[in-house]
Structure 1
């Protein structure tokens, strides 16, 4: 008999795992209360950056590089080959660490003149710009749907229902009870509600904004970009949605997952101020759209991928804490998780629930807030 699994959640982590297990001949039931890639999930925006640079962290760099390969195998059209540029404000900061790690791993990177990448760009506050030419932009929502659909094609049963844990079982709102060799809970921000007794998650409000720009700002001609110390990221105009700007400091807490999703006017001003600061040629570009994302943040920004501590047999696993990084790693993390579930490989301690977790590498942009002048502080 093949092993069996119930995977709860059809965001990027749950869908990647359901796809991986179904294609490995597992008997999979994939449960989601809405639809894969729905707008209220952390997987709800249309696009994400996918890049290997993670500062001094080689493990995440390798995993993201593998995920990029797997996204392209799923469907090459999911990845826009734009490259990703890093605006380094210090000569020896996060980007210099990333440059050393990428080079040691054989992942292409180079220092470039940003004026050759962007139609308009301010550079007087930059020490250098690092380009990952093989990185790009991921059509994220389409990617989640493609993973979930491929899981079904490989034999997974998709179940639309609200689920709650009952020991090692999954109870659905229609009264059904699901049991399997393994139960994996990968339900994004809802993890805090279901497993708050063992998980330390903060659910935060993170907005992105789209600005209408001339055609010369289209991706892949214009790359994605990250200003790590400025705590802002974005990308060129992908699929006609406009230039995307995402303020990336940790946002306010989301009190209710059922609340209305309204973009924060303060964050909109932050995005507008950065647009004018970094790309003066489009400082007055009209706002044409916004999206409210919710992040499930762990204290150290690492994933949670671990057996539930109440069950010593490893039959129940908790998978979450995406902290804004799940798309960069999802398919590759699913590969590793299958081995961890089968006990053919020891789980990664950094993703556990115990004291082995470490806080020595910063993965999210933690940069300076905007100054009172309306420009990013240097």
Structure 2
């Protein structure tokens, strides 16, 4: 009989547990902390969901399915985890990222609009355009609440029969011809037929042969100048491309607006040694970006927080089988929005060894080279 260990109960791990348990497959989650903790990559109050995906058209079918699964999790949790306020991409008309968003939309007939002038100002007054810029509006976008989402998925998994061993860090996962052994830091050994490796920023520890880097991602919150702007019920999420480049979110608490500058993230020797503050040079850089392009915010940050994530050289995650293990790791800052469908794909791979979804671009055995 199939039995599954899920190592890591963050975004993808908790969703994998939920989808496995929903199919009646016995599953046990292992985590050094507890679902919803802030030591990994699922922190910071908000995450972007978007369907017009500049990272490539082949993600769009996965995103559409993920949206349906987010709605299913919403219903089970009795609260809104995905708020569909829409989203925009702002940047120079000729910028490659703008072209990539439009290419993904054309490939899958997504209802995006290209806005300028008054129409752009009416749609998103928080994000004024500069000369030569356009606004690409994605009505199917919105924002996710990461911590409650992970808690909801873990709770749904447990309700369906899964178990979660909290505060039980895993030291090693060994596999042989008949199954896998999960060795915990306290010396325990647990036997299963399959294992799912979803260790978040700790991926390099369990997958040392793969070129995975742990990096620090910093978020910065700025106060609003006007109560009418950045309201979480109507303000779209935004990605600005060009110079400066960043992501921006509505105000979750009515006070601070989160801005994530798009810069090379700091490499970490270990996520356990993560410094939660940010270098002053980074804070000055993001404050200058706010002062230059977001007049509705005061450019003095009121909060800074740093989280860890795992990255591959080409910026695409790792999802596939290796013997009796399923690797679901290193989603490179793009995994949260897709976590429910990734969790369901994990369940496919455990149950049948394959999936009908297109995930060839995420194969762990692909040549891992840095994207141009």
Q: Which runs of 5+ in 1 are unaligned?
A: 309-313, 363-378
- Distance change >3 Å, CA 126–CA 243, structure 1 → 2: farther
1:39 is aligned to 38
**Matches of 2:55 and 2:205, distance apart in 1:** 33
1:319 is aligned to 328
Give the SS at the match of 2:148: helix
- Distance change >3 Å, CA 56–CA 326, structure 1 → 2: closer
Instruction: Tell whether 2:287 aligns with 1:261.
Output: no
State the shift of 1:20 in Å: 0.6
Match of 1:152 among 144, 158, 162: 158
2:178 is aligned to none
1:165 is aligned to 172
**Matches of 1:7 and 1:152, distance apart in 2:** 13
Normalised TM-score (structure 2): 0.88
Q: Which runs of 5+ in 2 are unaligned?
A: 176-180
1:86-125 matched pairs, under 5 angstroms: 86-91=89-94, 93-112=96-115, 113-125=119-131
State the shift of 1:228 in Å: 2.7
Instruction: Tell whether 2:65 aligns with 1:58.
Output: no
- Distance change >3 Å, CA 63–CA 229, structure 1 → 2: farther
State the shift of 1:294 in Å: 1.4
**Matches of 2:141 and 2:301, distance apart in 1:** 27
- Distance change >3 Å, CA 69–CA 358, structure 1 → 2: farther
**Matches of 1:130 and 1:81, distance apart in 2:** 16
**Matches of 2:341 and 2:63, distance apart in 1:** 7
Greater alpha carbon shift after TM alignment, 39-48 vs 174-183: 174-183
State the shift of 1:324 in Å: 0.6
State the shift of 1:359 in Å: 6.2
Greater alpha carbon shift after TM alignment, 185-194 vs 102-111: 102-111
State the shift of 1:174 in Å: 3.0
1:245 is aligned to 259
**Matches of 2:206 and 2:172, distance apart in 1:** 8
- Distance change >3 Å, CA 180–CA 91, structure 1 → 2: same
Moved over 6 A (4+): none
Greater alpha carbon shift after TM alignment, 155-164 vs 91-100: 91-100
Instruction: Tell whether 2:278 aligns with 1:278.
Output: no
2:237 is aligned to 224
State the shift of 1:185 in Å: 1.2
Instruction: Tell whether 2:223 aligns with 1:212.
Output: yes
Normalised TM-score (structure 1): 0.87
CA root-mean-square deviation:
2.1
